[in-house]
Amino acid sequence: MLHRRRSMLAVAGAAGFATPAAGAHVALDASSTTSQSVAELLRRSEEANGALLRGDVETYLSRITLSNDFTLMSPFGGTPSRGPYTSERWEEIGRFFRNGTLRQELVQAYGSADVVVLALIEHGHGEVGGLPAQDWPLRVTLVYRREGLEWRLAHRHADPLVNGISLQQAATLARSGTP
C-alpha cells in the first residue's frame, strides 16, 4: 500500500480542529476518504471521551462502537480487559467518572481503508474514582477498524506518563508493580 505523509494542519483545518502539536503528522493512503475518516474519528473520539469523563455513558456509546474483540489497557495498569462490556459494566464506568472536561491533542495519525490509529494526548480534568477533581493528562493510542460500513474501536491503550518519570521510578514499577 502506498502511504504519504501530510501535515495534520490540512486535515485539521478542513475538519475545524485546533492546530495540533508541533510536528504532528498524518500518514495516510492516497484516499481523501481516509482523510475524512481520520478527521471524523478524531472528532468522535474527543466527544465520546469527554462525555465519558463526565460520567455520560449514553453519549459515549452514541459516538463510539466497540468491536466484539475490543481490548482496553487502562491507565491504571493491570491485566487488559476485553469486550464486549455488559450494561452493568457500563453503569459502573459511568459512576467512576464525574464532572469532567477533555481536550485532545493529536500527536500522530495513521490511516488506511480499514484501520485508523490515533496517537493522542488527552488533557482531562474531573473527578475519577471518588477522588476530588484534578487534571488527568493521558497518553492514548486508539485503534479503529472498519467493520462493514462502520468504524469500531478495537483497542485503547492509555497511560498517565505525559510528564515522564525517571528510569529509577520505571524500574521500581517494573520490579514491584507499585509506585
d(CA 85, CA 111): 27
Q: Are 121 and 109 in contact (CB under 8 A)?
A: no
Alpha carbons 39 and 14: distance in angstroms, whole number: 8
Domain that holds residue 41: 4-176
HSE-CB of 104 using CA atoms within 13 angstroms = 27
**Are 54 and 97 a contacting pair, CB within 8 Å?**
yes
Omega cis (within 30) before 80: no
pLDDT at 162 over 70: yes
Number of domains in the chain: 1
Q: Residue 21: pLDDT above 90?
A: no
Between CA 55 and CA 178 the distance in angstroms is 28
Strands (E) in the chain, as ranges, are: 4-7, 25-28, 66-73, 81-82, 97-111, 115-128, 134-147, 150-159
Asked if the model's pLDDT at residue 8 lies above 60, the reply is no
pTM check: above 0.85: no
Instruction: Write the pLDDT tens digit of every residue in 103-129.
Output: 999 999 999 999 999 999 999 999 999
CATH number at residue 36: 3.10.450.50
